[in-house]
Structure 1
Amino acid sequence: MRTLLVWGLLAGLVGGVVAFGFAAVVGEPPVEVAISIEEAGAHSHDHGSDHSTAEVSREVQSTLGLAIATCAFGAALGGLFSLAFAFAHGRIGTPTPRATAFALTAIGFVAVAFVPFLVYPPNPPAVGHAETIGDRTAAYFAMVALSLVLAVVAVRAGARPGWLARVGAGIGYAVAVAVVAALLPRFHEVPADFPAQTLWDFRVASLGTQAVLWLVLGVAFAVLLDRVAQRATKRATEAGLAAG
């Protein structure tokens, strides 16, 4: 178990590094545009205030801060991924450890990133009201938690023999998350005059960063599993030759 945890942390760190590169190239331009819109609005409403000072400069936020955030999140996600793998392997109907890793990658991305994104798509810095940030954050994490629980139930139900079980589990999950999404509060705070292209670019970049992180995490973890399996096979072969 300790070895699996180390692999997960390492794979997640690699995923975080690659996700940082994607976010820096694809995600930062719409963020810069959104911040310029926010600053323009602030200056138009308050001409006498000085908004030039900040505790952390924008340059640090977009480089070192972004790198630390993505790498730390990736490592933490990788650790949780390794724990999920230890629980799921041999229980969800996948024939090999590599297949289990890839299945968990797909399930995790859908349940933890994609479905919550559809219900609560992220907004750039210039969008949203400060007084609702607590409610929005709580609703988002509630959606993540409920989606993950429903995904676990669906995976367990779909592990039964037969393709009908898998199809039924997938449909049941989709219906259940739709009901949950309808019951949770919704927030419509995008100003009518906010550039639609900037909003679209920001949301696509946010989802893309998550997709890159999950994909690299899953592939890196599967590669580590394969290398260990090859070493174990080599040791077993050498031991058999020595005994013979």
Structure 2
Amino acid sequence: MNSATVRNLLVRGMLAGLAAGVLALVVAYFLGEPHIDSAIGFEEAHAHGHDHGEEEELVSRSLQSTAGLATGILLYGVAFGGIAALVYCFALGRVGRFSPRATALLLSGCALLVLYVVPFLKYPANPPAVGDGDTIARRTGLYLLMMVLAVLLAVAATLFGRRLAPVLGTWWATVAAVAAFAVVTGLAYAFLPSVNEVPEGFPGALLWRFRLSAIALQITLWTGFGLVFGELAQRLLRPGAVPSRPPAAAATTAR
């Protein structure tokens, strides 16, 4: 793949990430923010030992939930879109005989699974008021460790499946690779320390709804990126495969 094509895919990846970020922003604002407000209300109602009401608020909650939220998600979408496009350039043609569109969807699904779902199942997202402020660094480190392990295990499973393919065939090699990934991931779950810092009295339904909204945001982000970037990549790499206007419509336009 020449540098011009890589550059074009990079630009399209960033645009697709921006579009996916807009979709994720809608989900975050309407599904996630109300639960964050409820969690903050719980935290303020149960605060003790300090007069939080007199503390100066550096950034207002309204600004955080609007401009701050939009800036963070859209910048994240552009950044991850560019990185995903570069990974796509490497993966295209190496993961099977898939079309550019199908490769983009496959890559997005794998990224969602490895970068979010696997770490999330061990260390799920928590709203405000859940978690000890003194353990933020430890919890962040454990989450990043789980993410790195998931990426390494996914790469190892892919190489394992490719080695088995000539012997077992593509189908059973894929089954064996997925099973090996699941088993080793389960062992990582068992050996890594657990984190349970939900305060007493915190509503379980609120925690559950917040985590569902966090998953919905990531699904929207990666699915939107896969669909948009897949279509853009398809039009760039295989323009002849994109349906053109019907002959009748073309003749009408020519008149």
Fold in common (TM above 0.5): yes
107-116 or 149-158, larger mean C-alpha shift: 149-158
Shift of 1:49: 5.3
The one-letter code matched in structure 2 to 1:214 is W
Residue 63 of structure 1: aligned partner: 66
| C-alpha distance in structure 2 between counterparts of 1:45 and 1:2, whole Å | 56
Percentage of identical aligned residues: 41
The one-letter code matched in structure 2 to 1:103 is L
Matched, 1:15 2:30: no
Shift of 1:29: 0.9
Provide Cα deviations, 1:6-25, integer angstroms capped at 9, x if missing partner: 11111111111110110000
Q: 1:205 aligns with which of 213, 216, 220?
A: 213
SS of residue paired to 1:50: helix
Shift of 1:173: 0.7
The one-letter code matched in structure 2 to 1:55 is L
Q: 2:79 aligns with which of 66, 76, 80?
A: 76
SS of residue paired to 2:114: helix
| C-alpha distance in structure 2 between counterparts of 1:58 and 1:210, whole Å | 23
Aligned ranges 1:123-162 → 2 under 5 Å: 123-159=126-162, 160=165, 161-162=169-170
The one-letter code matched in structure 2 to 1:95 is F
Residue 123 of structure 2: aligned partner: 120
Shift of 1:229: 3.8
| C-alpha distance in structure 1 between counterparts of 2:12 and 2:226, whole Å | 11
Provide Cα deviations, 1:25-84, integer angstroms capped at 9, x if missing partner: 000111000000111122x443x5534631000000000111111111111111111111
Relative to 1, partners in 2 of residues 1:34 and 1:229: Cα closer, same or farther, differing over 3 Å?
A: same
Aligned ranges 1:1-244 → 2 under 5 Å: 1-42=6-47, 44-46=48-50, 48=51, 50-51=53-54, 53-159=56-162, 160=165, 161-229=169-237, 231=239
Provide Cα deviations, 1:113-153, integer angstroms capped at 9, x if missing partner: 11111010011111110110000001101111110121122
**Conservation of the 8 A alpha-carbon contact between 1:157 and 1:169:** yes
Shift of 1:167: 0.4
| C-alpha distance in structure 1 between counterparts of 2:94 and 2:160, whole Å | 11
Relative to 1, partners in 2 of residues 1:100 and 1:181: Cα closer, same or farther, differing over 3 Å?
A: same
Shift of 1:227: 2.0
Relative to 1, partners in 2 of residues 1:49 and 1:19: Cα closer, same or farther, differing over 3 Å?
A: closer
**Conservation of the 8 A alpha-carbon contact between 1:78 and 1:217:** yes
Provide Cα deviations, 1:158-198, integer angstroms capped at 9, x if missing partner: 34342000001111111111112222221110123110111
Residue 240 of structure 1: aligned partner: none
For these two proteins, the number of residue pairs brought into alignment is 232
The one-letter code matched in structure 2 to 1:204 is L
**Conservation of the 8 A alpha-carbon contact between 2:12 and 2:229:** yes
The one-letter code matched in structure 2 to 1:133 is I
**Conservation of the 8 A alpha-carbon contact between 1:92 and 1:155:** no
| C-alpha distance in structure 1 between counterparts of 2:55 and 2:33, whole Å | 20
TM-score (norm 2): 0.86
Relative to 1, partners in 2 of residues 1:14 and 1:210: Cα closer, same or farther, differing over 3 Å?
A: same
Relative to 1, partners in 2 of residues 1:233 and 1:220: Cα closer, same or farther, differing over 3 Å?
A: closer
Q: Unpaired runs of 5+ in structure 1?
A: 235-244
| C-alpha distance in structure 2 between counterparts of 1:72 and 1:211, whole Å | 17
The one-letter code matched in structure 2 to 1:87 is F
| C-alpha distance in structure 1 between counterparts of 2:68 and 2:90, whole Å | 33
Structure 1 runs (4+) deviating above 4 angstroms are none
**Conservation of the 8 A alpha-carbon contact between 2:99 and 2:234:** no
SS of residue paired to 1:8: helix
| C-alpha distance in structure 2 between counterparts of 1:186 and 1:129, whole Å | 14
| C-alpha distance in structure 1 between counterparts of 2:53 and 2:241, whole Å | 66
